[in-house]
Amino acid sequence: MIKKIYSLLIITLILVTSPLLIRYLLINQKIRFLNNLYFNFPKIITRTKTCPSYDALLKRRLDNSFSVSIMNDNGTLISSYNGEFPRLPASNLKLFSSAYVLSKYKLNNYLKTSLLKNKNNYYLVGQGDPDLNYKDIIKLISNVERNKVINFNIVEINSELYWPKGWTNIDKLYEYGSPITTLAIESNYNTFDDIYALKSFIKNYLNNKYLDAKVKIKFSESEKNFYLKDAIEINKIYSNPIRSLLTLINSESHNFTAESLFKNASNTWNDNDYIKLKNWLRNKGLPVDNAYFADASGLSRNNRITSNLVVLFLDKMRYSNDFKAYQSTLSIMGVRGTLAKRFEDSELSGKFYGKTGTLSNVFALSGFLYKKDKPIIISIIQNSNNIDKEKSFKLLQDLYYMKSCK
Distance of alpha carbon 41 from alpha carbon 336, whole angstroms: 33
Whether 24 has a pLDDT exceeding 60, the answer reads no
What pLDDT is stored for residue 404 in this prediction? Answer: 78
What pLDDT is stored for residue 226 in this prediction? Answer: 72
Whether 17 has a pLDDT exceeding 60, the answer reads no
Lowest-confidence range among 19-23, 48-52, 136-140? 19-23
Lowest-confidence range among 4-18, 79-93, 136-150, 185-199? 4-18
**3-state SS track over the chain:** CHHHHHHHHHHHHHHHHCHHHHHHHHHCCCCHHHHHHHHHCCCCCCEECCCHHHHHHHHHHCCCCEEEEEECCCCEEEEEECCCCCECCHHHHHHHHHHHHHHHCCCCCCCEEEEEEECCEEEEECCCCCCCCHHHHHHHHCCCCCCCEEEEEEEECCHHHCCCCCCCCCHHHCHHHCCCCCCCHHHHCCCCCCHHHHHHHHHHHHHHHCCCCEEEEEEEECCCCHHHCCCEEEEEEECCCHHHHHHHHHHCCCHHHHHHHHHHHHCCCCCCCCHHHHHHHHCCCCCCCCCECCCCCCCCCCCEECHHHHHHHHHHHCCCCCHHHHHHCCEECCCEHHHCCCCCCCCCCCCEEEEEEEECCEEEEEEEEEECCEEEEEEEEEECCCCCHHHHHHHHHHHHHCCCCC
Tell me the pLDDT tens digit for each residue of 205-249: 999 999 999 999 999 888 777 778 889 999 999 999 999 999 999
Whether 320 has a pLDDT exceeding 60, the answer reads yes
What pLDDT is stored for residue 228 in this prediction? Answer: 81
Distance of alpha carbon 39 from alpha carbon 320, whole angstroms: 6
Distance of alpha carbon 131 from alpha carbon 137, whole angstroms: 11
Q: Strands 374-383, 66-71: parallel, antiparallel or unpaired by DSSP?
A: antiparallel
Distance of alpha carbon 97 from alpha carbon 82, whole angstroms: 24
What pLDDT is stored for residue 122 in this prediction? Answer: 96
Task: For each of the domains in the chain, give its residue range(s) and CATH number, in order of start.
Answer: 1-38 (no CATH), 42-106+244-401 (3.40.710.10), 112-239 (no CATH)
Q: Which residues contact 69 (CB under 8 A, 6 or more apart)?
A: 77, 79, 80, 81, 83, 306, 307, 308, 310, 311, 378, 379
What pLDDT is stored for residue 148 in this prediction? Answer: 94
Whether 99 has a pLDDT exceeding 90, the answer reads yes
Tell me the pLDDT tens digit for each residue of 151-168: 999 999 999 999 999 999
Tell me the pLDDT tens digit for each residue of 39-51: 888 988 888 988 9
